[in-house]
């Protein structure tokens, strides 16, 4: 099972919005970048994904689960990009802020640190476990 991280501007779509969508979940789109698309396409059913708030927030605030793998996004006029469906799984008891991530040597290689503009990114098993621990979340998630 691979792990991932997606970014969302909370003013347009926040983790609270995701939680409000309940177990039925909802689509997550807005990817207009081919690298991000590659990762989005690689997501499999049941995989877990960190939910990061960019700009206002700048913290990993929760975990979502892939409940429907990649499918076309009809709102994309170019027809090139697709989306997945997520449902909220857990919110971080203690959100893990970007400056804390940057200060943690074990997370220095995170894509979030190295390529801050990529909106969908892979997370290694080690990074996943460490961020969960820092956020006060059970590592099994």
Instruction: State in Å, rounded, how far the first CA of the chain is from the last one.
Output: 11
78 to 82, 107, 120: CA distances (angstroms): 11, 36, 20
CB closer to DNA, 1 vs 29: 29
What is the DSSP secondary structure assignment for residue 119, as one 8-state letter?
Answer: S
Nearer to DNA, 79 or 117 (CB): 117
In the complex, minimum distance from the CB of residue 113 to DNA, in angstroms, rounded to a whole number: 9
Instruction: Write the binding mask 92 to 121 for DNA: x where contact by CB under 7 A, - elsewhere.
Output: ------xx--x------------xxxxx--
The DSSP bridge partners found for residue 7 are 52
Where do contacts with DNA occur on this chain (CB under 7 A)?
Answer: 7, 9, 32-35, 54-55, 58, 98-99, 102, 115-119
């Amino acid at each position: 099972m691979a792990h991932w991280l997606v970014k969302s501007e909370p003013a347009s779509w926040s983790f609270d919005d995701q939680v409000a969508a309940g177990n039925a979940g909802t689509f997550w789109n807005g990817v207009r970048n081919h690298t991000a698309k590659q990762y989005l396409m690689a997501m499999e059913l049941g995989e877990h994904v960190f939910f990061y708030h960019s700009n206002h927030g700048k913290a990993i605030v929760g975990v979502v689960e892939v409940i429907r793998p990649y499918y076309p996004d009809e709102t994309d006029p170019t027809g090139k990009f697709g989306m997945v469906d997520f449902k909220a799984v857990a919110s971080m008891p203690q959100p893990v802020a970007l400056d804390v991530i940057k200060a943690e040597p074990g997370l220095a290689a995170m894509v979030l640190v190295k390529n801050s503009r990529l909106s969908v990114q892979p997370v290694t098993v080690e990074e996943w476990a460490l961020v969960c621990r820092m956020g006060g979340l059970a590592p099994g998630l």
